[in-house]
Amino acid sequence: MLAIFLHLLVNAVVPLTLTGGWRGPADVIAVLFYLAGTIPLVGITLVELGLIGTDPASSLKWHATFIAIFLVVAHVAMIFGMLDPAVLGYRMLHQH
């Protein structure tokens, strides 16, 4: 996921930001929440490596917490990714 995060950051987020290619706030929210999904996944990895959670009950609590955070973040990304950009005010400029 970290490799995907870096790839999308370099090849999508930066170019779209520099060229003004975003189709309104829905696109920005969708992509940023998708990328934010990396944070709980890194947390789950740390739990599984034994770096977070000192005992089985604590590890389970941390794992469940990171899963819940990931599910919320992923659903927000999915909802805004499917949303018509015009709903949040994007208007396509017609060029002749």
Could you state, in order of their start, the residue ranges of all structural domains in the chain?
A: 2-6+23-86
- Rg for the chain, CA atoms, rounded: 17
75/12 Cα distance (integer angstroms): 21
57/89 Cα distance (integer angstroms): 47
User: Both ends of the chain: CA-CA distance in Å?
Assistant: 41
DSSP state letters, 41-75: HHHHHHHHTTSS-SSHHHHHHHHHHHHHHHHHHHH
**CA contacts within 13 A on the Cβ side of 93:** 6
In tens digits, what is the pLDDT along the chain, a chain of 96 residues?
889 999 999 999 999 999 988 999 999 999 999 999 999 999 999 999 999 988 999 999 999 999 999 999 999 999 999 999 889 888 877 655
**Which pLDDT score, from 0 to 100, does residue 95 have?**
59
